[in-house]
């Protein structure tokens, strides 16, 4: 099951909150259903009375714009309209990339195995290795998502029960910021694991093909590379062969490759850093207005980002069918770690 399906199942509550902004009107029935779902979830976890919770939440899922007291002027609006969709897209893209790379390398190793009787790669239980790698990667993606989602949900629920004061909101934002940076560390560690594994397979595969050619001792490095390159279509006519070819052409020096950005949640981090610094300034200036003024500014900034950097729909299955693009991206991953 793809990570997008998993995370949508985990976090269906509130997902309609930003749909009017991006996809059109939300029906009254959908809004009512979302309100009921949120109420029942809060009841189960907090043990409060249904009537009391209904009074606390009010029209928390209402998507109509209003005056200063509109419920959309809140952290829920910022998260569900902008940051949660961006988070989902980042997780979904990474999940598709991992699946595309692991499936192709696993298939390629199966083709290469008959040629690797004298190499450690021949001793691999490839099905077990790649299954474990995929499970680890997808599990880490899910864990990072859960970490960020939970931190945001805590702020949203606390705000729904009654506006937090400035200091309490600042502490909640600090927790969200910490959770997102921790999520980045999880994802970077997983990408590093993937990079190291793929790099080991590629370099060992080059060595295996070299050994299989039985070239004379003292053969020049350039001639070795040419001989390996010529033989690759026979033993690795696939994604692994493309990676090996590029490494032979450019060498293994990381400076020959473009590196990837190592903060998958950087969009969310930038947004929360801005939210935090804005509230710090708000407090330092001794602003006596209530928190509604702060959230009006934050919601406005969020909507402006959505206009400046709209969240476009992309077909990652189709994107990663492009093996040239996938090869370059994987080489960048290998050069980064």
For residue 90, CA distances in Å to 13, 118, 194, 307 come to 19, 41, 17, 19
Question: pLDDT class for 84, splitting at 50, 70, 90?
Answer: very high
Question: What do you get for the CA distance between the two ends of the chain, in Å?
Answer: 28
pLDDT band for position 22 (50/70/90)? very low
Q: Could you give the angle at the alpha carbon of 57 between the alpha carbons of 296 and 41, nearest 5°? A: 120
- Res. 53 pLDDT band, cuts 50 70 90: very low
Q: What is the pLDDT of residues 107-140, one digit of tens each?
A: 888 877 766 655 555 556 667 888 999 999 999 9
- Give the pLDDT band (50/70/90) at residue 223: confident
Compare 85 and 215 and report the one with higher pLDDT.
Answer: 85
Q: How confident is the model at residue 275 (pLDDT cuts 50, 70, 90)?
A: very high
pTM: 0.74
Count of CB atoms within 10 A of residue 227's CB?
15
Distance CA(288)–CA(127), nearest Å, equals: 63
Per-residue buried b or exposed e for 147-172, using 16+ beta carbons within 10 Å of the residue's own CB:
ebbebbbebbbebbeeebebeebbeb
- Please state the rounded mean pLDDT for residues 157-164: 84
> What's the residue count for the chain?
337
In angstroms, the Cα distances linking 41 to 45, 78, 176, 333 are 6, 21, 21, 40
Residue 71: predicted pLDDT: 67
Instruction: State the Cα–Cα distance between residues 28 and 26, nearest whole angstrom.
Output: 7
Say if residues 172 and 207 touch (Cβ distance below 8 Å): no
Cβ partners under 8 Å of residue 200, min gap 6: none
Least confident of 19-23, 134-138, 317-321: 19-23
Q: How far is CA 285 from CA 26, 281, 282, in A?
A: 39, 6, 5
Among 7-16, 17-26, 58-67, the least confident range: 7-16
Query: Which distant-in-sequence residues (6+ apart) come within 8 Å of 316 by Cβ?
Result: 92, 93, 96, 97
- pLDDT (mean) for 263-286: 91
Say whether pLDDT at 56 is over 60: no
pLDDT for the residue 6 = 32
Q: What is the DSSP letter of 324?
A: H
pLDDT over 90 (residue 228): no
pLDDT for res 14? 34
Q: How high is the pLDDT of residue 42?
A: 41
CB 246 within 8 A of CB 324: no
% of the chain exceeding 70 in pLDDT: 74
Q: For all residues of the chain together, what is the average pLDDT?
A: 79
Helices (H), the chain: 3-10, 19-23, 28-46, 50-57, 75-78, 84-112, 126-160, 166-213, 221-235, 239-250, 266-284, 291-308, 316-319, 323-336
Residue 21 has pLDDT above 70, yes or no: no
Which range among 70-79, 228-237, 309-318 shows the weakest confidence by mean pLDDT? Answer: 228-237
């Amino acid at each position: 099951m793809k990570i997008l399906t998993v995370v949508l199942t985990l976090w269906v509550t509130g997902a309609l909150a930003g749909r009017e902004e991006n996809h059109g009107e939300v029906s009254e029935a959908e809004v009512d259903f979302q309100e009921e779902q949120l109420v029942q979830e809060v009841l189960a976890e907090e043990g409060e009375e249904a009537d009391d919770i209904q009074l606390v939440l009010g029209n928390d899922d209402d998507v109509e714009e209003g005056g200063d007291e509109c419920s959309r002027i809140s952290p829920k609006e910022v998260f569900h309209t902008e940051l949660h969709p961006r988070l989902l897209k980042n997780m979904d893209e990474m999940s598709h990339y991992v699946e595309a790379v692991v499936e192709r390398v696993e298939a390629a190793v199966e083709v290469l195995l008959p040629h690797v009787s004298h190499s450690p790669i021949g001793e691999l239980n490839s099905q077990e290795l790649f299954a474990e790698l995929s499970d680890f990667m997808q599990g880490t993606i899910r864990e990072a998502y859960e970490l960020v989602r939970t931190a945001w949900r805590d702020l949203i629920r606390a705000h729904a029960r009654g506006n937090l004061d400035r200091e309490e909101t600042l502490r909640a934002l600090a927790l969200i910021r910490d959770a997102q940076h921790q999520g980045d560390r999880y994802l970077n560690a997983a990408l590093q694991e993937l990079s190291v594994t793929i790099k080991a397979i590629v370099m060992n595969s080059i060595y295996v093909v070299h050994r299989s050619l039985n070239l004379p001792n003292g053969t020049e490095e350039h001639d070795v590379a040419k001989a390996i390159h010529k033989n690759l279509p026979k033993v690795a006519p696939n994604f692994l062969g493309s990676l090996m070819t590029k490494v032979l052409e450019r060498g293994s020096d990381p400076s020959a490759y473009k590196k990837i950005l190592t903060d998958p949640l950087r969009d969310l981090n930038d947004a929360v850093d801005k939210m935090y610094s804005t509230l710090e300034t708000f407090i330092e200036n001794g602003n006596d207005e209530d928190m509604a003024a702060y959230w009006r500014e934050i919601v406005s900034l969020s909507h402006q980002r959505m206009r400046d950097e709209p969240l476009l729909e992309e077909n990652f299955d189709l994107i990663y069918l492009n093996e040239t693009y996938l090869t370059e991206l994987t080489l960048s991953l290998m050069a980064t770690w």
